[in-house]
Amino acid sequence: MVRTLVCALAAATAMSLAPASRPAVAADTQEEMRDAEQPAVLRVGATRELKRPSAAAQIARDGDTIEIDAGIYDGDAAVWRQHRLTIRGLGGRAHLRANGAHAEGKAIWVIKGNDTTIESVEFSGAKVSDQNGAGIRLEGAGLTVRECYFHNNENGILAGANQASDIVVEHSEFTQNGAGDGYSHNLYVGNVRSFTLRFSYVHHALVGHNVMMNDRPAGGRSLFVRAGTDSARIVNNVFSGRGVVLNGPGELENNVVSEKTAFVDPAGFDYRLRAGAAAIGRGVDPGSAHGFELRPTMEYAHKTGKRSRGNSGKLDAGAFEYQNVR
């Protein structure tokens, strides 16, 4: 298998259809009503019958949608075993603040089911005895995370190897995750079928990996991309900072190593290209991977947003098309 990694943002945004809502019923009767029902909406919140997400995890069925009212849920952790769940914050982010809680000694949420979608949820404070606690620990196959915020955990998302798993993270922020030992990270994904990270802000991991530009002001050298047993194809990227681009098997094509002076305002997170930057016109058509076209039509807008990518003629390397910015 050859993997392709490009610094380009896709136009398509995954859409999902939520099942129809039904009136809330008492927690002790919800389970009794489920056998004859289609997938349902379970609501969680201080004024609901289900007060905590872990209560919904105990009675949810495959295909359900769990809506969690915005607010702080202290000391609550859960294992989600069902398949095709959609779990979303309602009216803002639902904040899962661990405060010492964990599921199975692993995470705030352990996802054992397949094809789970999580939207508008905040995870913080995950800590366990082996210093490998995560906001989300994925053990099933397939995960979409959208508009979520992971901070001050030992790991943000921790996903093991699973060749049947496709993972998408978009419009999300990861910061200050890591136990400080170099073995825990903002975002760590094992050997999966595909991993897509787009329109997200991943920064300031505590010693571990970020999945970000290497611009530590104190210097030092970091690793941008680590390939496993499969070969990585790295095309049309701009790398800036002191770091090794690739460790492991792979192919580097049409990438540019550049100083920060090539960007408009890196201190203000504006990585658009300045006039004369080496990346202008350097790109090649990256083709496709897993049936997904890799030529970018959208680009990142800080923070965790997106906008249409301009067209200056020949494709430029890097995350942004040159727009004659001075």
pLDDT at 17: 34
pLDDT at 132: 95
Number of domains in the chain: 1
In a domain, 129, yes or no: yes
Which value, to the nearest 10 degrees, does the dihedral of the CA atoms of residues 284, 287, 292, 296 take? 20
| Residue 70 CB burial class (10 angstroms; 0-12, 13-18, ≥19) | middle
| Residue 158 CB burial class (10 angstroms; 0-12, 13-18, ≥19) | buried
Q: Is residue 191 classed as helix, strand or coil in its secondary structure? A: coil
Strand (E) or helix (H) holding 93: strand 86-97
Q: In angstroms, rounded to a whole number, what is the distance separating the alpha carbons of residues 292 and 134?
A: 30
In a domain, 279, yes or no: no
In a domain, 108, yes or no: yes
In a domain, 180, yes or no: yes
Q: Are 101 and 108 in contact (CB under 8 A)?
A: yes
Residue 165 sits in which domain range? 2-212
pLDDT at 268: 83
pLDDT at 208: 76
Q: How many other CB atoms sit within 10 Å of the CB of residue 244?
A: 13
In a domain, 168, yes or no: yes
Strand (E) or helix (H) holding 55: helix 53-59
Which value, to the nearest 10 degrees, does the dihedral of the CA atoms of residues 230, 235, 241, 242 take? 40
In a domain, 310, yes or no: no
In a domain, 285, yes or no: no
Q: Is residue 67 classed as helix, strand or coil in its secondary structure? A: strand
pLDDT at 55: 98
Q: In angstroms, rounded to a whole number, what is the distance separating the alpha carbons of residues 298 and 319?
A: 9
Distances in Å between the Cα of 217 and the Cα atoms of 21, 71, 221, 242 are 50, 36, 11, 10
In a domain, 95, yes or no: yes
Q: Are 125 and 99 in contact (CB under 8 A)?
A: yes
pLDDT at 118: 98
Tens-digit pLDDT string for the chain (326 aa):
333 333 333 333 333 333 444 444 454 555 555 555 789 999 999 999 999 999 999 999 999 999 999 999 999 999 999 999 999 999 999 999 999 999 999 999 999 999 999 999 999 999 999 999 999 999 999 999 999 999 999 999 999 899 999 999 999 999 999 998 888 899 999 888 888 999 999 999 998 777 636 444 554 456 677 676 777 888 998 888 777 888 788 888 889 988 888 999 988 888 889 999 999 998 998 988 878 888 889 999 888 999 998 776 789 999 898 886 54
pLDDT at 182: 82
Q: Is residue 288 classed as helix, strand or coil in its secondary structure? A: strand
- Residue 266 is given by DSSP the state G
Q: Which residues pair with 174 in a beta bridge?
A: 150, 202
